[in-house]
């Protein structure tokens, strides 16, 4: 069973056999939703330049979740010391002197899109889908439910306000229909991201008061995905234009390991007996 | 003493760069997009100043901030 490795190590979940088949099929279904909108799949590096992510205010909003790609500084003595004794008795790195940190590990699959589109003008709405391993520092981890590294599929639209609203109006009922077809007790609930010092963060205030984020809540306990209206946030920060204005954007995000967790929880360990994710779940 | 309603209307009109006359107590300030992100934070700070209390996170709810009426109903009619 896929969970056996997870039980041995709380941050790693080996996904294999029918459970992996399910996850692959689910991902294909989500990609087909993007394709039906004319969306193109893209693959990005999970490393983001820190100065670019800073441009999105990510570090001021989520400093507690940021993770970085670091490497040991090249001085011989530093490397010698590190090589001789790299890990302490509690399993933590004995951190050597580090090179300047240029990259962070992407916290969400869609961030690279906005960085990539910086200073561009869109002549028509842009639909994309991306999948990435995403990284977030978590104080408590649990296999499949809360992993510091996890797979996220996102379907993204950039366009005018109306184009983005239509995109969300198309995908929202599809999400609900998919959950119903898979026998998952999921409701869409207004939510906010876990902002640092939220009351002093204008993005938090706006997200909450304008209900810009809906979470796919499994049994009102676990968010397995979210529907996010960014309005012109990324369009403004990265100078992406649609028409004469900063582009609006939105993403629909799916935490694939969490979907697996729900399937185990709802239908038991025999993944071969689970309902199959079908592409045609249009309501 | 300037009433809370008056101060709110004046403040929202200034932030939204519209005339005070274009906003009444039932104008849906969120739904109609009168305030952007930064302006909403300014509004929170103004309410804290008028009520002399720090808003609880639970009080930042769409139904409370729907219009000037709902804000005044929730936070009282204190003026300063």
ipTM of the complex: 0.85
Strands (E), A83-219: 103-105, 121-122, 126-135, 149-159, 186-190, 213-218
Flag whether pLDDT at A43 surpasses 80.
Answer: yes
B13 has a chain A CB within 8 A of its CB: no
B24-76 pLDDT per residue, tens: 999 999 888 888 878 888 899 999 999 998 888 888 899 999 999 999 999 98
Strand partners, A87: A93
CA A248/CA A231 separation, integer angstroms: 5
Structure tokens at A236: 């403004």
- Interchain pair B37, A205: CB under 8 A: yes
Flag whether pLDDT at A23 surpasses 60.
Answer: yes
B36 has a chain A CB within 8 A of its CB: yes
A118-137 pLDDT per residue, tens: 999 999 999 999 999 999 99
- Interchain pair B37, A206: CB under 8 A: yes
pLDDT of residue B1: 63
Flag whether pLDDT at B78 surpasses 60.
Answer: no
Residues of A in contact with B41 (CB under 8 A): 200-202, 205
Size of interface A-B (CB pairs under 8 A): 35
pLDDT of residue A199: 86
The beta-carbon neighbor of A209 closest among B30, B38, B54 is B30
User: Residue A49 in contact with residue A169, Cβ under 8 Å?
Assistant: no
Residues of B in contact with A190 (CB under 8 A): 62
CA A127/CA A140 separation, integer angstroms: 35
B57 has a chain A CB within 8 A of its CB: yes
- Interchain pair B61, A208: CB under 8 A: yes
Nearest to A203 by CA among A52, A28, A62: A62
A146-171 pLDDT per residue, tens: 899 999 999 999 999 999 999 999 99
A162 has a chain B CB within 8 A of its CB: no
Question: Look-up: residue for tokens 């005018």?
Answer: A160
The more confident residue out of A10 and B59 is: B59
A213-236 pLDDT per residue, tens: 999 999 989 999 999 999 999 999
């Amino acid at each position: 069973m896929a969970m056996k490795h997870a039980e041995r190590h709380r941050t790693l979940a080996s996904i294999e056999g029918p459970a992996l088949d399910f996850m692959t099929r689910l991902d294909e279904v989500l990609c087909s939703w993007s394709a039906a909108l004319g969306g193109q799949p893209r693959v990005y590096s999970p490393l983001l330049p820190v100065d670019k992510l800073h441009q999105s205010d990510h570090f001021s909003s989520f400093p507690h979740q940021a993770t970085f790609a670091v490497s040991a500084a090249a001085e011989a003595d530093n490397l010698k010391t590190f090589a001789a004794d790299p890990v302490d008795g509690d399993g933590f790195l004995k951190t050597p002197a580090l090179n300047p940190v240029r990259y962070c590990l992407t916290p969400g699959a869609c961030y690279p899109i906005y960085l990539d589109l910086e200073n561009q003008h869109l002549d028509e709405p842009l639909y994309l889908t991306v999948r990435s391993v995403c990284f977030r520092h978590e104080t408590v981890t649990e296999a499949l439910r809360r992993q510091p590294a996890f797979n996220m599929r996102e379907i993204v639209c950039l366009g005018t306000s109306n184009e983005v609203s239509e995109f969300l109006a198309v995908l929202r009922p599809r999400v609900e229909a998919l959950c119903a077809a898979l026998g998952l007790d999921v409701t869409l609930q207004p939510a906010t991201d876990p902002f640092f010092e939220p009351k002093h963060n204008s993005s938090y205030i706006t997200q909450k008061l304008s209900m810009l984020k809906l979470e796919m809540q499994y049994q009102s306990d676990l968010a397995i995905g979210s529907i996010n209206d960014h309005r012109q946030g990324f369009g403004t920060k990265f100078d992406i234009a649609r028409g004469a204005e900063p582009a609006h954007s939105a993403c629909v995000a799916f935490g694939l390991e969490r979907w697996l967790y729900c399937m185990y929880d709802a239908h038991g360990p025999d993944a071969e007996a689970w309902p199959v994710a079908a592409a045609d779940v249009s309501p | 003493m300037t009433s809370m309603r008056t101060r709110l209307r004046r403040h929202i009109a200034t932030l939204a760069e519209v005339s005070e006359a274009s906003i009444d107590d039932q104008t849906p300030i969120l739904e109609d997009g009168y305030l952007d992100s930064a302006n909403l934070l300014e509004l929170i700070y103004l309410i804290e100043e008028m009520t002399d209390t720090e808003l609880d996170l639970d009080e930042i709810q769409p139904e409370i901030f729907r219009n000037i009426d709902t804000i005044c109903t929730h936070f009282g009619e204190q003026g300063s």
